[in-house]
Structures are given as C-alpha cells and as structure tokens.
Amino acid sequence: MTFRSRSGGPVKKRGQKKQTHTRKLHHPPPPPKEDQPPAPPPSSFPLPSSLESGPFNPPDSEILALLHRALHESLSADNFVDTVQRIKGLLYDKKWLEVFCGTEGVLECYAGRWVPSRVCCFREIMDKIVWGVFSGEEGDDLAGRMGRLGVDEDNEEEESEEDVEDDVEEDEDIEGEEEDDEDDEEAEEEAEDDEHEDEADQPETKKQPTHHILSLGGGAGSEFLAIAALIRSVLLKRPHAHPNFTWTGIDIGNWHNVLKKMEDSVRIDWKIDQSVLDVEYIKADLLAAPSTSENQAQILPLDLTTTLLSNAPKLITLFFTLTELLTQSRPRTLSLLTTLTENVPPGTLFIVIDSASDISDFPLGKEGRKYPVYMIMDMLLTSKGRGWEKVKGENSRWYRFPEGVGAGWKVKLENTRYWYRLYRRV
C-alpha cells in the first residue's frame, strides 16, 4: 500500500524542514549540590596530630614494608595461612596462653597477622596524645595542644559512676581474702617508694634526658615498632636535640627472636642505634600465677616493683592485654594495678587500649552486672583519690588503613576498633 496525501495527489516526499527562526539555547541546569556528610559522633572527631607530612611521618606503607622484611620467612611459608586460622580459633575460645606460650613459629605467625594493624594504630594514637614524651618539648603534650585547639574531653558514660563504684567495691570485698597475703609485701614497697620519690625529685642534669617506656604485654612487637616510628620522626625533625629512649617489653611468651628481627630492621632501615633506643625484653608472668602446666614451667613471676624502681618509666602502655588479664585473674590484675600506682612517680603517663567489642564487658558484684572495662578502669584508678587522673579517653575509635595500604599482604589486614584511656599519676 502506498501512502498518499489526503487530496489523492502524488506521494509526498517528506524532507527536513528548514529552520526559519533562531533556536533557543537551553542551558543545562546547574549541577546538584553535593550532599554534606553528616557530622561524625563526638568520639570520632580527629585529635590534633604533631607529626608533619613528609619524612617526619613514616607512612603506614613504610612501616608495613619494614615489618614484612623482618618477618619475611614466616610470611612466605606455605603453612602461614593455616597457622593463622588455627590461632584465630584459639583466640576465639579465649585460650590465650596456648597461643602466647606456643612455639616460636606460632608466635611469628601471630605477629605477621596482628601486628601490622596494631602498630599503625598505636603509632597514630600515641602521636596524638603523648607526643611530648618523644619530642621532649615543653608544653607539647596532649593537654597543651587540646587547650590551644579548644577541644573538650569526652564525657561519654553508659552507666552512672555510683553504680559502677558500688559494684567495684563489692567485687573487691568478695575477692579481698585472696589479696590478704600480699599486704606485708605492699608495706615494704611503700618504704621503697618513698626513697624512689626522693630520687625522682633530683634535677635533671643531662642535656639529652633518657625517657623510659614500659610496655606490659608488649612481646609481639606492636608497641616497639610504633615507638620506633615516632622516634624516627623525632630524629629526622631534630637530629641534634632529642631525648634518648629505653624500651622494656614484658610478656609471658618467648618473643625474643621475633623482637630481635624487628629490632635489626629498625636499626638498618631507620638508622636508630642503641645509644638512641635501648631495647630490653623480659619473659615473665605479669600476674605471677603459680606454674602448673608444662609450657609455663620456664616462666618466672615478675618482680614488677624492682623493675619500676630501677628505671622509673615516663610512659607505661597496656595495649590489648587488659581483658586477658582480668579473665585469668581479677584479684591479681587489681594487684598489678596497685603495684603500678605505688611505685611510679607523679607525672607518669599510663595508656590503656583494648578492643571496643563486647569482649570487653565484665561482670562485677554479687548480681554480676556487666560493665565495659573502661568504666571499671576509670573507677579503679581515678575514684576516691586512688592516685591517677584521666587526661583523655574515648569509648570507641577506629583506626583504618589508607586506601590500598596492605593490599599485598598474605592475609587481609583488618581495621581496628578500640577504646583508650590516658591516665596521669598525681
């Protein structure tokens, strides 16, 4: 069928109409405004950082590269992934001693999996809250920098302090009988403490003071590498005017060889010699529990009082260890905190970091009410003149790897959610 015009004439050829008017230009609408991201909760506001960009701040990728070279043998082993999976199962079942009192191969695989994220996390938070310990600069501590920036301290509380305090006291009463045997020792320690405080009052005469850092439960090397990274930043920024440092790690496992590999890499890659950073590791039981199993037969109880008095620490760290200690023995953990309080001079800084997951909830009192461990720590250390003040703390904080960092690691490196407290001895 042929289509014709309505008048029946020949087929019309339809061509394009010629434009007889000026076409109106249609301007595209303006791009929509980008949605502003919601303000983060108070606990995730960034803290002030003292590190500068460039060589003064070894990036996370450089820290991971150094760690990879130190642990290359274990990371490249065929059984590395299988060993990590077995360790995960033991940790999930809270069989910590089976991991940390295991063979050197198990310990090195643990370090290869968990140290990467923790060393970067610890370096970041210590930079932000105790940078003055490393720089040696007056007024370069957290309180001064927070004051200049007008940042207030977090006051997040999930339970009333009175409830926690009552349950803490009740729990201490229940467990008090287990601590009676230690009273005589504490009396002797008080006399030694007086002598120690007199020594601490002596004026510093060295041009380059030595700052001692004590890491309780620091055998895996996360604290050591984080501290070494901060020292490297100081050396590059102030090569001729900086403190010297000593670091002592205390843990229950045989971490000597793992730490020695990390130390050798730090000496070579970051040019930190022993005169700037002296390293010591003590294999000992922080809780001084009686030795019963075969794998603990060679573990000695720790004389923490002598350790503290022989070399007074400027900074004490307890990272991802507190929950394990409380699970093993609450009375002995309380005794450990008491020993710290009685044997460190005023001004000593104490950082506690632990997981922010529900594993950090702990029952107290006859009714067994559960409280986050950070609330228990606040009451144990800062209430009723117990000797410490809380300088800063956050109940939940994330460390996240920058985009692409750690992508080539043999196992996936996970971000870290944690809580922290910074206390100062008064």
Full 3-state SS string of 363-386: EECCCCEEEEHHHHHHHHHHHHHC
Q: What is the pLDDT of residue 44?
A: 44
Please check the confidence at residue 141 and state whether its pLDDT lies above 90.
Answer: no
The answer to whether 411 and 81 have CB atoms below 8 angstroms apart is yes
Q: What does the pLDDT look like over 175-190, one tens digit per residue?
A: 555 545 545 555 555 5
Give SS3 for 78.
coil
**Number of domains present in the structure of the chain:** 1
Alpha helices in 71-182 (DSSP H): 72-75, 80-92, 96-100, 104-129, 131-135, 142-149, 161-175
Which has more pLDDT, 36 or 303? Answer: 303
Query: Out of 27-31, 202-206, 271-275, 407-411, which region has the weakest mean confidence (pLDDT)?
Result: 202-206
How far does CA 110 lie from the centroid of its chain?
17
Average pLDDT over residues 34-44: 48
Q: Which two tokens stand for residue 42?
A: 């108070």
**Would 30 be classed as within a structural domain?**
no
**Which phi and psi (to 5°) does residue 99 adopt?**
-85, -55
Percent of the chain at pLDDT > 70 equals 67
Mean pLDDT lowest among 68-77, 102-111, 182-191: 182-191
**Nearest partner of 299 among 313, 288, 314, 311, judged by Cα:** 288
Residue 1 covered by a domain: no
Let me know if residue 48 belongs to a domain: no
Instruction: Classify residue 32: in a domain, yes or no.
Output: no
* Segment 126-144 mean pLDDT: 78
| Dist. CA 53–CA 128, nearest whole Å | 14
160 domain-assigned:
yes
Residue 266 backbone dihedrals phi, psi, to 5 degrees: -65, -40
Structure confidence at residue 425 (pLDDT): 97
Task: Tell me what pLDDT residue 265 has.
Answer: 97
In a domain, 10, yes or no: no
Residue 245: give its domain's CATH number: 3.40.50.150
Q: Is residue 67 part of a domain?
A: yes
pTM: 0.77
Give pLDDT, residue 235: 93
Q: Using the predicted structure, report yes or no on whether residue 150 has a pLDDT greater than 60.
A: no
Residue 305 bridge partners (DSSP): none
* Domain extent at residue 174: 54-192+208-425
Residue 3 lies in a domain: no
CA distance readout (Å), 53 to 46, 138, 236: 16, 22, 12
Strand pairing class (210-216; 315-319): parallel
Q: pLDDT at residue 120 above 80? A: yes
